[in-house]
Amino acid sequence: MSDLFLPLRSVHMTCAALSILGFVIRYIWMLRESPLLQKRAVKIVPHIVDTVLLLSAIGLVGIIGFGPNAAWLSAKIAGLIVYIVLGTLALKRGRTKGARAVFGLLAIIVFAFIASVARTHNPLGFFMQV
């Protein structure tokens, strides 16, 4: 395996942690109608973190290969798409605060699923425990 694998995986995992932490903070601020959501850094930093997260993911797939890992990587990608949609509905597009609250909780659950898929390398993630 490449000498870049471990450092790239560390960057990826750190960005994943920062991404969900940032989401949860912004979610709580949304529920509290905090003016902090309008700060410039709050609008820019998540995009930087998520871009580094995505680029590190692409780099890791380049190292480990997609073919032999297609099942669990595809589950992560599908989960990511669902997470993005739910996150957008939670923070911006949900019609009511109640709907945004539900979408936010669902987004956090989907993020946990994605992390469980990454941890187990099983496309069922935490559902394989059931």
Give pLDDT tens digits for 20-51: 999 999 999 999 999 999 999 999 999 999 99
Verdict on whether the full-model pTM lies above 0.75: yes
Backbone Cα Rg of the chain: 16
Q: Say if residues 19 and 50 touch (Cβ distance below 8 Å).
A: yes
Which pairs from 73-77 meet CB under 8 Å and 24+ separation? 74/123, 75/117, 75/123, 75/124, 75/125, 76/114, 76/117, 76/118
Burial per residue of 90-118, b for 16 or more beta-carbon CB atoms within 10 angstroms, e otherwise: bbeebeeeeebeebbebbbebbebbbbbb
Tell me the C-alpha distance between 72 and 65, whole Å. 12
Q: What average pLDDT score do residues 56-85 get?
A: 94
> What is the extent of the structural domain holding 49?
5-129
d(CA 5, CA 71): 20
Distance CA 78, CA 48 (A): 21
- In angstroms, the CA 115 to CA 126 distance is 9
Residues 61-74 have a mean pLDDT of: 93
102-117: average pLDDT: 97
Quote the number of domains for the chain: 1
Residues 6+ apart with CB under 8 A from 116: 125, 126
